[in-house]
Amino acid sequence: MKCIFCEIINKNIPSSIVYEDEGVIAFLDINPRTRGHTLVVPKRHVSSLIELSDEEVCELFRDVKKCAELLMKKLGATGFNIGLNNGRSAGQLIEHVHVHILPRYGDEGKGFESAFPIDEELSEKVKNMPKGLIDFSTLP
C-alpha cells in the first residue's frame, strides 16, 4: 500500500504546500479543523516519532515552529494548537509521522482541555501519589 504522504512528498499527488526544505514538507490538511490547518511531515518515511533520530526530531519541530509563526503572521491567527497522534491507539490514521498545526483566531474556545477532559478519578489518584521521582509500576 502506498503512503499518501510519500506520494505528496514525491509530488505525485498535488497539495497546497505551505513550507518545504530538504527534510520536511508542510501542506494544508485536506480535512481542515480550522482555517490554515497544516500538516508538517518529515520527508523520510517513518510511522512513529520514536523512529526519528534526535536530529530529525529537532528539525521537524524547528520547522513546526517556523510554520506556526508563518500561519499566525499570514492568517492573523492569535494562537495555535499543535498535535501529533502517534500510533493507532492515539488516533494516527496515516502511518507516516505528521504534526498538525491548527491556527486559532480567538473565538473557537477549543483547546487541549476540551479535547481531553480531566479524568477526575485519575486526578485524585495522581494528587495522592508520593512526590519526586516516580516508579512507573505504581502509576494509577
The domains of the chain are located at 4-138
Pull the grid cell for residue 98.
505528521
Across 11-31, average pLDDT? 95
| Residue partners of 7: CB distance under 8 A and separation at least 6 | 13
How confident is the model over 48-77, as pLDDT tens digits?
999 999 999 999 999 999 999 999 999 999
86 pLDDT above the threshold of 90: yes
pLDDT reported for residue 87: 94
Is 98 an active-site residue?
yes
CATH number, domain 4-138: 3.30.428.10
pLDDT reported for residue 39: 97
The total number of residues shown for the chain amounts to: 140
Q: What is the pTM of this model?
A: 0.87
Q: What is the arrangement of strands in the sheet containing 99-104, beginning at the earlier edge strand? A: 17-20, 24-28, 38-42, 99-104, 79-83
Pull the grid cell for residue 52.
526519528
pLDDT reported for residue 72: 95
Q: Per the residue annotation, which of 37, 96, 98, 100 is the catalytic one?
A: 98
Pick 123 or 22 by higher pLDDT. Answer: 22
111 pLDDT above the threshold of 80: no
Q: How far is the CA of 118 from the CAs of 5, 32, 55, in angstroms?
A: 33, 26, 34
Pick 122 or 59 by higher pLDDT. Answer: 59
133 pLDDT above the threshold of 80: no
Question: By C-alpha distance, which of 101, 110, 41 is closest to 74?
Answer: 101
